[in-house]
Structure 1
Amino acid sequence: MKKALLAIVASLLAMNILYSQNEDKKSILGINSGLSIPFEEFDNKTLTGYSGFAGAGANVELDFLRYLGRFFGLSSTIGYSSISFNENAYKAEYDRILNNYGVTVVDAGNYQVLKGMVGMIIKIPETMHTEVMLIFQLGIAMSVHPDIVVSNSELGVINSVGKNSDWSSISSAGIKINYWLTGKYGISLNYNLNSTRPGFHDNTGLEGPFFVPIRYQNINAGIVINI
């Protein structure tokens, strides 16, 4: 038992010496952008359930990190994502249902998500100018459903959904890797999963209000600044 305790103490002392270079960093500002990729129902391409017919998109995020010691911290994020609506997949479903009757045309905009989040950091202290952290956040998001118009050469307009928005809670979990080029500036790689469930309205449809589980992953690169 004593040997085990001594081994633990020795390990902690070694880690303290190895990671001591990180002590001068307390508040970090991060700016990053990259791809937004849908998953689960949001990525589904069939006219069933809560299918979102979402495609790839782009995003930009602004992060503020406050370290509370060497292993924990607080985080806040403001982010915006514009995610495409897969018109070709939507058209293919209508062609299937109509048995290719007439010529079907789909015209749609993009999904948009504006989020504000706060949360906690669990991090591995900096070593060799590199630090890795897990970030867990909760917040609120405004999601925008795109305009969608489906028309057929023989039947005319057969479906339309007007552009509308809703506020809802959002959660996120991700990993961030910072590599410091100097004591003040560095580069960053980021990956996070985002999930929200806004409610929208379809004034032209039979169901009226409907929910879309918006789930997407951000794969980003950017810069970090020690402030």
Structure 2
Amino acid sequence: MTTAEFDTFTSTHVIHADPGVYAPQDDSWLLCEMAAQSGVVQGARVLDMCTGSGAVALAAVTLGAREVFAFDISPLAVACARRNAAALDAEVDVRQGSFADAAALEPFDVVLCNPPYVPSEAVPVGEGPHRAWDGGRDGRVVLDPLCEAAYDLLAPGGTLMVVQSEYSDPERTEQMLRSAGLTVTVAARRSISFGPVMTERAAWLHDVGVLDESRDIEDLVVVRADRR
């Protein structure tokens, strides 16, 4: 898929997000864009973890994936992703489950993930839209388990791409993935203005020493890891 074709996808495919389900935003589209530019999705068996509305999984279908699975722990997200796939007549196997549930399947050629990564005062519990972004005090309540599961999720020659904020320690993601035996690079880094969640949380992030008081932008980082 060329950049122009990707722009056509994002402008013409309407992805609905039900109440309580994460609507695709800059991080979703950056992950899709990097997957498109990498060329690894064509003909691949793809896993979209933390699928939310299913936007990344649907992009994988458009990119020519051979088979697409999408997982989320939220039943609301699973129902929403299934409806979006049906509306676009896209073959996506959407399931409720965790990294362990996904790892119980055959390994994947490509794993894509836009996890919750915004630092939060408390570990997220219960249902609700906050589960799509709250990542615990260091933003890594989902990122760390992903890094631990990554090697087993990937088939030999497979590729993981995960998007996160600079405020959830992408260097730790790189270190954990390398320690797992994967080859790691930073595929993209892009600055965006704070959205509503980061704007609301900025004072607390400053108080705990994560954020400079005058800063109102964040870098989104896409980390790529390859299993050889």
TM-score norm. by structure 2 comes to 0.22
Give the structure with the higher percent strand: 1
Report which structure shows greater RCO (CA 8 Å, sep ≥6): 1
Give the structure with the higher percent helix: 2
TM-score norm. by structure 1 comes to 0.22
